Amino acid sequence: MDNPHLASRFRGKTVLVTGGASGIGEACCARFAREEASVAILDRDTDRGWALASTLRAQGGTAACFQVDLANAESISRATAQVLECYGGLHYAVNNAGLSEEPRGFLDPDDTDWDRLMSINLRGVWHGMRCQLRAMPPGGAIVNISSRTGLVGKPGVAIYSAGKHGVIGLTRSAAIEYAPRGIRINAICPGLVQSPFTEAKFGDRLTRLAQSANPMGRIGQPAEIAGAVAWLCSSDASYITGAIVPVDGGASA
């Protein structure tokens, strides 16, 4: 972050980030903390979440971790209420948490596989947005993390793709409904991004995939996604709602 006028862009505001303890979520938390937001890290891994909160605090930021099970509506509601009690309000939300699936043929998964992915990747976003929108004042903003696979079909990951397409539908529909109320709702579609998630999934293939995945010929960094998220929440994006923004090195082009 080179521009000094950005340093206090979110001073006095609170941001909630699901899946905030690692990967893209961790980068979003770090970015908002540097810009002086109060950061609520929502994650099921509270050990890692509190370690991140401690690091951000040591760097001069304001951060706390809240345990959440995004497959459980009551857990989402409880965690959101705890954020409001801790910080006194909610101005921005980043719905980042998600699960992936191993590539399989369209006929191979069963209802259990469908329910496992959709409970987090789509229903969890829906429940999260419902809690966030009830708490958010005019001027607030929500950014949902979809995927490049939410823009195009991809063999072998039909359930994941369906859930990420669904996130885009939720984003657009809610954006239209809440625009008159002064709340902006957008989505980002990351391409291949370096994170513990992708490293565990692709292993030694990651570098090769990154080189062939997009015209830029390299893998994205979590901080690059976080920069786009922060911009969409900022006043620089004040006339943007219902937008679906690919951040994928040109892959979707």
The residues carrying an active-site annotation are 160
As to burial, measured by CB atoms within 10 angstroms (0-12 exposed, 13-18 middle, 19+ buried), residue 241 is buried
Distance CA 149, CA 103 (A): 13
Whether 35 contacts 7, CB under 8 Å: yes
